[in-house]
Copies of this chain bind each other. A is one copy, B any other.
Amino acid sequence: MEVGMQGGRLVEPDSKIVSPTLSADEVSHLAVDIGGSLIKLVYSSINHNSGIDDKEKKSSKECSVVPNGSSNYPVICGRLHFAKFETSKINDCVEFILSKQLHRGGSWHHETFGNDKKAIKATGGGAYKFADLFKEKLGVSLDKVDEMDCLVAGSNFLLKEVHPEAFTYIDGREEYVQIDINDLYPYLLVNIGSGVSMIKVDGDGKFERVSGTSVGGGTFWGLGKLLTKCKSFDELLELSHKGNNRVIDMLVGDIYGGTDYTKIGLSSTNIASSFGKAISENKELEDYRPEDISRSLLRMISNNIGQISYLNALRFGLKRIFFGGFFIRGHAYTMDTISVAVNFWSKGEAKAMFLRHEGFLGALGAFRSYESHSFDANMTH
């Protein structure tokens, strides 16, 4: 998590990276979202000591947020902390939770599960896959919350309660979007994790997963790793900065001898075939720069997701598309490609918007589900 908010104001990334050493009673809740590639943690504290622990910074990045309008969300009255780990390094995550005693924060709802059991809210497929591991290593149960429920709850929470949260990215400029709570729905939520989910959101808890695609963050990372030998997603993303996709992509001009194909609205610089140039030359993988490969791959995937998102928004007459998920990582070129794709295919009718806490929608939703329980309980009184 590179950016976050404090008291509703956007603050610079560096000032957000805090690594609080919490005592058990300071942690009120912990929620986890265990996806195919990443584990996302959200936990709250009443007080914290700031300070940067270099060792922990290596394995996770944290930031904190104090949302606006917290009065409606009694649990979220302290400070929220965010952390992420690779799912393949789940033991690091367990160590982190142990070292901070975060799992004690889940006991708030312990009566639901019997007196001798603690449970923490968990979503994502890993809530099923790793339930035994959490039980064994931390002595806690995972109280499973549906993944789509959590994504929507997290997104609605951020859009309604955290300002500024949503922004457009056009011509290299971020522009914050003022969200009118009374005119928020319906919208399309596109969560780009390992795979991609597309959800039509009509209100709190009112939604339908209308589409998705298997070409997502896991594809970028997986194919990118095979093609470039990069060791991490961020390294691969970094590489793409310096790349030139025209070395590998077949452009309209490559086919048309440098001219546009104006009759159907394609300019000579439009990509006709992603990776299409790799077919015709006597070049092997080793002859291409990893930078160029990464750039082509990122553009192919971002453009594809932008296009499928737009087509789904069109089906349901949705003008607003919010993109979340850790694939984006606040990365300028990714956001630019998605924005251009949505603009191109919709002929300017639809707009791509991004969420500042993009990667934590599911974890925030799971965290909020502690709240829903107490909120529902209050409502019934």
Contact = CB atoms under 8 A, between A and B. Distances in A.
Interface of A: 35-37, 86-88, 124-126, 128-131, 146-148, 193-195, 209, 211, 213-219, 221-223, 225-227, 229, 233, 248-250, 252, 254-259, 261, 263-264, 271-281, 284-285, 288, 293, 300, 303-304, 307-308, 311-312, 314-315, 345
Contacts of A255: 35-36, 124-126, 129, 194
Nearest to A273: B218
B311 A277 contact: no
Contacts of A272: 36, 125, 194-195, 214, 218
Nearest to A89: B280
Contact of A249 (B147, B214, B261): B214
A37 B276 contact: yes
A87 B273 contact: no
B35 A257 contact: no
Contacts of A303: 214
Q: Can you list the 6 inter-chain pairs with the closest CB atoms, starting with the nearest?
A: A218-B276, A129-B257, A218-B273, A125-B255, A222-B278, A222-B275
A40 to B, nearest CB: 14
A263 B148 contact: yes
A380 to B, nearest CB: 25
Contacts of A226: 227, 275, 278, 284-285, 288, 293
A288 B225 CA distance: 12
A221 B279 contact: yes
A273 B227 contact: no
Contacts of A271: 195, 214
A211 to B, nearest CB: 7
Contacts of A278: 221-223, 225-226
Nearest to A194: B273
A250 B195 contact: yes
A216 B273 contact: yes
A214 B300 contact: yes
B280 A88 contact: yes
Given A257-B125, A278-B226, A315 B311 contact: yes
Contact of A209 (B131, B258, B264): B264
A261 B149 CA distance: 13
Contacts of A277: 222
Nearest to A315: B314
B264 A215 contact: no
Contacts of A274: 214-215, 218-219, 222
A63 to B, nearest CB: 24
Contacts of A264: 148, 209
B222 A147 contact: no
A211 B345 contact: yes
A225 to B, nearest CB: 6
A252 B273 CA distance: 29
